[in-house]
Amino acid sequence: PYVIVCNHQASLDLMGMVEVIPDRCVPIAKKELMYLGTVGWSCWLSGMIFIDRHKREDAIHVISQTARTMQRENVR
């Protein structure tokens, strides 16, 4: 298992990151991206996990739940 941290500066950088990330890698993004029209729909349909950066406890819960699912299903 590994973690790739990307600090993209624009919404267009996301398309470039999708090309370089390995298979079976699920990106985690800020919830605000979900409301960017076509970009948000594409991210949501591709299985991206969204976290709310303004609600720390909710973000921790989402990331913890994702980690438990990964362990349970034995995936990276």
What would the pLDDT profile of 20-76 be if each residue is shown by its tens digit? 777 777 778 888 888 888 888 888 887 788 888 888 888 889 888 888 888 888 776
Residue 10 CB-density burial (10 A; 0-12 exposed, 13-18 middle, 19+ buried): exposed
Mapped to the 3 state alphabet, what secondary structure does 34-67 carry? HHCCHHHHHHHHCCCEEECCCCHHHHHHHHHHHH
Does the predicted model carry a pTM greater than 0.75? Answer: no
For 4-22, the pLDDT digits (tens) are 667 767 766 767 777 777 7
